[in-house]
Amino acid sequence: MSFESLGLMPELLRAVREQGYETPTPIQAQAIPIVLEGRDLMGRAQTGTGKTAGFTLPLLQRLAPHASTSASPARHPIRALILTPTRELAMQVEESVRTYGRHIPLRSTTIFGGVNINPQTKALRAGVEILVATPGRLLDHQQQGNLNFSQLEVVILDEADRMLDMGFIRDIRKIIALLPTQRQTLLFSATFTDEIKQLAGAFLKNPALVEVTPRNTAAELVRQIVHPVDRERKRALLAHLIQSRGLEQVLVFTRTKHGANRLSEQLDKDGISSMAIHGNKSQPQRIKALEEFKKGSVRVLVATDIAARGLDIDQLPHVVNYELPQVPEDYIHRIGRTGRAGSEGEAFSLVCVDEHKLLRDIEKLLRKDLPKQVVTGYAPDPSIPAEPIENGRQGGRVGGGRPGGRRPGGNGASSPRSRPGVRGK
């Protein structure tokens, strides 16, 4: 199975190639042809299955025929709406829209609460074809008269079960009532509960059903383990694990740029060659770090989530969460760097008392508990109290907004795109 055989247009095939994807994931293989046909679809798939590309690619193709380079707002009516439960997911989905749509002149923007409404209003007035929105703020814009859905062709409910869990059902009903009845509707959900089926019954017309078993997700393929440890002893434990297990090509995640630098310097002092890669590093510095890592002359690459998004590396033997991410979905993206396509992969997380809530959020998203294993000599001291976590969100992500809606060092055209083939042994 190839992306070509799914009937995608050359502009999209090019973007997919630039992402380094070789074969469609099961959800992509099933969903893309159905969405291209214009049918409604109900998809059961979790984060980590590639579902975002599964709906974004065919959506872009459906909208491409009337894409326009004109500056006139009238040439850029709202043609697609993607509803998500959280601002983080909205940002990630819109990033995918931009990444896969980079060779097609369609505009997209995110709409979510907790940030100033004015820049969003301005973006809407300028004209935008693809809106990625959380329900509450979308309705605020509706009340302010900023939205015209008369040209809408496609609506996508992403993570519909989470939207229901978060109490968005009434908002969703209100939003759907604003849309033309003649439209394509896609609904994605990790579970098909009765409530979800009811929702689908109300809004979808004769939908095709697509399901992927959770086994296909990175989260299932990767061996994951949590090592509880004290905050101050994480570095020693990491060095111990790398040395005692003879680990090579280890990708280590920290929450902050500062943390990445500090850890990388300390590992070097411990005799473990390491480099940090994050948003403050110049492009040549990043490329150099990546090359050294791929060659094996640098054993550990310490990265922040944002920097890692622009890196074309996967199928690494080991990923380490030195610090858990603030956003649970980032955990899935991190561990997706290992164990792809059935290859063996291992992700371990060093978790201190401050991070228990983050761990619970991740386990909730995964719908399973992760095995915990105390490493001999590194048992946490139960008398150490939890401390608030240093704000790990970076630059543009504070408060969920980022200028221009793009992450620094994100999946932009400027990322190094060479195929690494870094899987060691």
Binding site for ligand AMP (CB under 6 A): 21, 24-25, 28, 47-53, 333, 336
Backbone φ and ψ of 108, nearest 5°? -140, 155
Least separation in angstroms between CB 298 and ligand AMP: 23
CB nearer ligand AMP, residue 47 or residue 274: 47
CB nearer ligand AMP, residue 107 or residue 333: 333
Least separation in angstroms between CB 329 and ligand AMP: 7
CB nearer ligand AMP, residue 30 or residue 49: 49
Least separation in angstroms between CB 163 and ligand AMP: 16
Least separation in angstroms between CB 333 and ligand AMP: 5
CB nearer ligand AMP, residue 187 or residue 238: 187
CB nearer ligand AMP, residue 24 or residue 207: 24
Determine contact, residues 130/80, Cβ cutoff 8 Å. yes
Burial letters 173-194, b for 16+ CB under 10 A, else e: eebbeebeeebbbbbbbbebee
Strands (E) located in 322-413:
346-351
Least separation in angstroms between CB 160 and ligand AMP: 15
CA 344-348-352 angle, to 5 degrees, is 170
Least separation in angstroms between CB 218 and ligand AMP: 7
DSSP conformational letter for 338: B
Helices (H) and strands (E) in the chain, counts: 16, 13
CB nearer ligand AMP, residue 52 or residue 184: 52
Determine contact, residues 121/146, Cβ cutoff 8 Å. yes
Determine contact, residues 327/338, Cβ cutoff 8 Å. no
Please list, in sequence order, all residues whose beta carbon lies within 8 angstroms of the beta carbon of residue 329, skipping any fewer than 6 positions away.
47, 88, 89, 92, 365
